[in-house]
Amino acid sequence: MEPDRQHPARRRLLTGAAALAAAAALTPLAATSARATSGTRTPRATAYPPTHWNPANAANYTAADRPTEYPVDMVVVHVTQETYADTIKLFQDPTHKATAHYVVRSSDGYLASCVREHDVAWHAGNWDYNTRSIGIEHEGWVDDPAWFTDALYQHSARLTAAVCDRYGIPKDRTHIIGHVEVPGTDHTDPGQYWDWARYMQLVTGAS
């Protein structure tokens, strides 16, 4: 955590009628920066895989210049506890105060890019981990493995592999982690039904 800095909270996502508690608060470093204005920039080109730009509101992330400003050495895997559509809406709500870089849709593996990789998404509930990582949300619920489709695993793994290649991140479980593994978090995603062995095999096998 950064010293003497308040941080906006991790997302609150609803499961049925129960609201999940938000994690530790996070503070934007440059929330008022002109470059953080929503919709004023297009995402930087990435070679693979193709993603679809669904920008989060600029109030929900920190504008930055990674990896110059912060090194990127980790991928954090999340599960939304919401539908894909509602997750995108939450990221576009300026009062939500949380985002991830990408959201993967369950039905077809559609990849939404919501925050540019060079910016700091508020997804981990830990400022140090936010600055160092790419956050990938997966549509579904931790207690229902039916959401973790072949398409979701395959498209997410290709994305993670490409992120690792871009930043020289080792493709291992030390550097590709679940949200539950972030220090200080109270989240359990991606949960017991996430098939880490399968996912890592797909990531390491992606070209």
Rounded to a whole number of angstroms, the CA Rg of the chain reads 15
Largest CA distance in the chain: 44
What separation in angstroms does the CA of 203 have from each of 20, 22, 137, 179, 189?
Answer: 30, 29, 16, 18, 19
> Nearest-CA neighbor of 46 among 166, 168, 195?
166
Whether the CB-CB separation of 136 and 104 falls below 8 Å is answered with: yes
Strand partners, 144: 141
Number of separate helices (H) and strands (E) present in the chain: 4, 10
Catalytic, 139? Answer no
Which listed residue (82, 117, 137, 139) is catalytic?
A: 137
Provide the 3-class DSSP secondary structure of residue 145.
helix
Are 125 and 182 within 8 A, CB to CB?
A: yes
Closest CA to 137 of 95, 109, 101: 101
| Residue with the two structure tokens 């608060």 | 25
Give the whole-angstrom CA distance, residue 186 versus residue 118: 26
Would you name the residues annotated as active-site residues? 137
